[in-house]
Amino acid sequence: MSKPHKNADKIRCDACPVMCYIADGRSGACDRYANEAGQLVRLDPLVILDRRLSDGGDVVPFLDEGSDWDGDILYAEDSFVTAIGAGTTYPDYKPAPFIVSREVDGADMVTVVTEGIFSYCGVKVKIDTDRHLGPERNLVRSQGEPVGHVTTGEYGSQMLSLGGVNHLTGGGKKEGRLTCKTLLDLCNGEAVELTIDDGSTVIVEAGKAPIVNGVTEERMRVGCGSATVGMFASQWKGLVDEVVVVDDHITGVMSEHQAGKVIGWPATGIKVKGRRSTPGRYFQVAEPGTGWGGTDVDDPLTILDAFDPAVARPGQSLLMVSTTGEQFAYFELDEDLVPQAKDMPERLMGSVARIEENCEPALCTVLFMGGAGGSLRAGVTENPVKLTRSVKQLLTNVTCGGAPCYVWPGGGITVMVDVTKMPENSFGHVPTPAIVAPIEFTLNRQDYEALGGHMGHVTPIEDAMDGMTGPQNDHILRGQKPVSQNRANPWPTEARRAVPVEQTVKSGRKSE
Ligand code: SF4
């Protein structure tokens, strides 16, 4: 048990390495803890998921704080104590702030709850846009400071990798501070403006459309140019002589493409610049940019060479369209076999609209990525490696604020979570700098005991919901906030409860 150290009228918070001395009535450097009449108080309420609620509830003071709340709002069987507002195990010698027990369909379950301090964490950002944001590997900046880099683009989305040890702790003080702020804002659903060296400015907000160079992106492309030709080949047959789907990745040409060949599309004598990969599929028709199909092209004819006079004929029609259907143009060859722009015929409008219809809304996705394989495991078990093994053997379910996590294979407990599946404002920070993120480990009580869990600190969930804290806690809680569970998430205690110990032994999945 640890008590806050006192210095005159100040108390010392040891919930992170900053070790603030906090005067009465003041809060510490992170605004997460305060000194209230000599007691260290965690200022944000403890968030409790309630699967019966349709919306977030109000903050409810605990009974021992003089509330007239009658306790009927929350029921243990429909509630899950998250780590949001719980406090941390730092400096890691003590058990987690809450280790709660409950019965779930006849099985005794334990959930270990703590706010982890992540000094090396980061976010992966997926931005649904064809537009070129910047060259791969180039720096991403916030307010001029490098906070990450452009990484491998994935299937019509641009990807950013932000944060991590090199920016949080390996650069200058300002770089670390702005990296931390950028991660915090992104994880808490704020809009963040990022600039990319030799590239664009993009405003990223989790779950919202990206804004690239001031233009809100509306659609994610239906596929690459080749895929688009394949998808709509039969719908264009008989309506137009040639279709070119302009795309920075693979530009598709109907008459040459296998999709056109199998439905008997005649040759047109078209010639496309760029590097021909396979019939009807062209790479590098232009430079990357924010024009047609993620190229730098504003006039699509610039990607064409002269038509072959042995094949092409005057009057031949040509549709050029981008992979989102946002840009399109119609041409007919004149007597010299030069394409001349014409009004888009009504017969082709439906096919362009079909491309747009098949595009999904463009969004920004923010995945928080942190490593729980370090010292915070000591808050769960006396033998930390056993927690790692238990997670890998699927005996322990890891959640962040009650939201499901993807746990990476290999060493450590490296988790990734979609921040939009977590309750609002789940994240905090400390000025070391580091991000504070909630993490919960749920497992069968017997398995918890077997991995060396802190059994003497297990508290019934009802007590935790009444505001009781364990003997390991050196702070009191401000109150609790019931929050509705995200309907897309599985209930956090249901993922692992059905694995009886005998079965795990038989299947060789027992943790020890
Ligand atoms: S920064 Fe916050 S958590 Fe860290 S010691 Fe100060 S008050 Fe405590």
Cα of 295 to ligand 1 centre, how many Å? 48
Cα of 225 to ligand 1 centre, how many Å? 53
Q: Which amino acid is at 204?
A: V
Q: Are 90 and 15 in contact (CB under 8 A)?
A: yes
Q: Give the position, in ligand 1's atom list, of the atom nearest the Cα of 90.
A: 3
How far from 44 is each of 32, 33, 85, 184, 428, CA to CA, in Å?
A: 7, 8, 5, 16, 10
Q: Which residue CA neighbors atom 5 of ligand 1 most closely?
A: 19
User: Which of 21, 30, 114 has most ligand 1 atoms within 8 Å of CB, for mutation?
Assistant: 30
In this structure, what token pair is assigned to residue 430? 């400390």
pLDDT computed for residue 106 by the predictor: 85
User: Which of 119, 430, 473 has most ligand 1 atoms within 8 Å of CB, for mutation?
Assistant: 430
**pTM of this structure:** 0.87
Query: Where do the DSSP E strands lie in 395-479?
Result: 397-400, 403-404, 406-407, 414-418, 428-430, 434-444, 459-460, 476-477
**What is the C-alpha separation between 287 and 497, in angstroms, rounded?**
54
With a CB cutoff of 8 Å and minimum separation 6, the contacts of 194 are 140, 141, 142, 147, 160, 182, 201, 202, 203, 204
For CA atoms 173, 176, 177, 178, give the dihedral sign: positive
Q: Which amino acid is at 468?
A: M
Ligand 1 lined by 28 (C-beta under 6 Å) = yes
Ligand 1 lined by 331 (C-beta under 6 Å) = no
H-only helix segments in 436-484: 445-450, 461-465
Cα of 32 to ligand 1 centre, how many Å? 7
Q: Cis peptide leading into 433, omega within 30 of 0?
A: yes
Cα of 12 to ligand 1 centre, how many Å? 9
In this structure, what token pair is assigned to residue 19? 């070790």
pLDDT in tens, the chain (512 residues): 445 555 668 999 999 999 999 999 999 999 999 999 999 999 999 999 988 876 555 666 664 444 444 444 567 778 999 999 999 888 888 899 999 999 888 889 999 999 999 999 999 999 999 889 999 999 999 999 999 999 999 988 999 999 999 999 988 999 999 999 999 999 999 999 999 999 999 999 999 999 999 999 999 988 999 999 999 999 999 999 999 999 999 999 999 999 999 999 999 999 999 999 999 999 999 999 989 999 999 999 999 999 999 999 999 999 999 999 999 999 999 999 999 999 999 999 999 999 999 999 999 999 999 998 788 899 999 999 999 999 999 999 999 999 999 999 999 999 999 999 999 999 999 999 999 999 999 999 999 999 999 999 999 998 888 888 877 888 888 888 989 888 889 999 886 544 444 443 333 333 32
Q: Is 110 helix (H, G, I), strand (E, B) or coil?
A: strand
Ligand 1 lined by 90 (C-beta under 6 Å) = no
- 């009444």: which residue's tokens? 466
With a CB cutoff of 8 Å and minimum separation 6, the contacts of 85 are 42, 44, 45, 46, 47, 115, 477, 478, 480, 481
Q: Is 367 helix (H, G, I), strand (E, B) or coil?
A: strand
Ligand 1 lined by 43 (C-beta under 6 Å) = no
Cα of 10 to ligand 1 centre, how many Å? 13
User: Which of 2, 7, 16 has most ligand 1 atoms within 8 Å of CB, for mutation?
Assistant: 16
Ligand 1 lined by 30 (C-beta under 6 Å) = yes
pLDDT computed for residue 90 by the predictor: 83
8-state DSSP, 229: H
Exposure of 284 in the CB half-sphere (CA atoms within 13 A): 4
Cα of 15 to ligand 1 centre, how many Å? 6
8-state DSSP, 420: G
**What is the C-alpha separation between 459 and 261, in angstroms, rounded?**
69
Q: Are 123 and 131 in contact (CB under 8 A)?
A: no
**What is the C-alpha separation between 428 and 84, in angstroms, rounded?**
9
Straight-line distance from the first to the last Cα atom of the chain, in angstroms, rounded to the nearest whole number:
29
